[in-house]
Amino acid sequence: MAQTMLPSGTFQGETAIVTGGGSGIGFGIARELGRLGATVVIAGRKPERLEQAVAQLKDEDIRALAIPTDVRDPAQVEALVDQTLATTGRLDCLVNAAAGNFVVDSEKLSVNGWNAVVNTVLNGTFYCTRAAGLKMIEQGRGGRILSIVASYAWTGGPRTVHSVAAKAGVVAMTRTLAVEWAHYRIRVNGLCPGPTDTEGARPLWADPAEAQRLKAKIPVGRFGTVEEMAQAASYLLSPYADFVNGEIFVIDGGEWLGKGLTS
């Protein structure tokens, strides 16, 4: 059994949906919640990837279910939530980890390219949050919603204007719903990972010189791990964070800071 930070059984009897749960940070969060007792529903666009992920989770004795979903389609999102309720009987946590991004000069970004990212990151997060939130309200037991964001939402991020604008929207949505839905006992927070060593990100720093250049920009001098992100996410979703609401929790080794003229 891998090390977990929270007591085992923290999420016993609960159900969590993790979009983008087939790989990367989303998969890591699903695995950690599962290790802590949750039944996890992983949603994503690629059925084969989801099935592989579920098999891996089941190998660890985690109750897991794959529901192929394109978060850009509100009908598929409704079906995801309905099927989760029909299969597991409840919904306690939603993790919005589905994302899409590419690096492009803004003057070369097409309308379709903009829409592909904004529809996934901003609209998809709203569709999932709305569908899950309505069920949580109906159940009357409260709930927790956590969205993965990025610090370029507030610093700006040249050559990723689509993702920057979408993540900034998710930050604003998080803070807004945290206030609106608190009386339903639904907590809404964001997790903001810095550069994290995932399979998807690894090609970006496959060249050792490039890895060195990027690490030099991170005060602690290394990339984050999926496990670190997953443990932070689990804390924010757990009862230990019952008073944490509308927070954007940055976990990046100080990467977004230290950009002053003297550093």
Q: Indicate if 152 belongs to the active site.
A: yes
Q: Does 96 bind ligand HXC (CB under 6 A)?
A: no
CA–CA gap between residue 170 and residue 226 (Å, rounded): 21
Q: Say whether residue 156 binds ligand HXC (CB under 6 A).
A: no
Q: By CB under 6 A, what part of segment 219-238 binds ligand HXC?
A: none
By CB under 6 A, residue 200 contacts ligand HXC: yes
Smallest distance from ligand HXC to CB 100, Å:
3
Q: Which stretch binds ligand HXC (CB under 6 A): 87-95, 107-115, 179-187, 252-260?
A: 107-115
Give the number of residues in contact with ligand HXC, rule: CB under 6 A. Answer: 16
**DSSP secondary structure letters along 98-166:** --------GGG--HHHHHHHHIIIIIHHHHHHHHHHHHHHHHTS-EEEEEE--THHHH--TT-HHHHHH
Per CB under 6 A, 110 contacts ligand HXC? yes
Which of 2, 3, 112, 183 is close enough to bind ligand HXC by CB under 6 A? Answer: 112
| Nearer Cβ to ligand HXC (103/220) | 103
Q: Are β-strands 186-193 and 248-251 bridged in parallel, bridged antiparallel, or unpaired?
A: parallel
Candidates 140, 147, 168; CA nearest to 236 is 147
The nearest distance, CB 103 to ligand HXC, in angstroms, is 6
Distance set, CA 31 to CA 4, 188, 248 (Å): 11, 21, 22
Q: Rounded distance, CA 109 to CA 122, Å?
A: 17
The DSSP annotation for 222-253 comes to S-B-HHHHHHHHHHHHSGGGTT--S-EEEEST
Residue from 117, 128, 165, 229 that binds ligand HXC (CB under 6 A)?
A: 117
Decide if residue 102 touches ligand HXC (CB under 6 A): yes
**Residue ranges that bind ligand HXC, judged by CB under 6 A:** 99-104, 110, 112-113, 116-117, 120, 150, 160, 163, 200
**Residues involved in catalysis:** 152
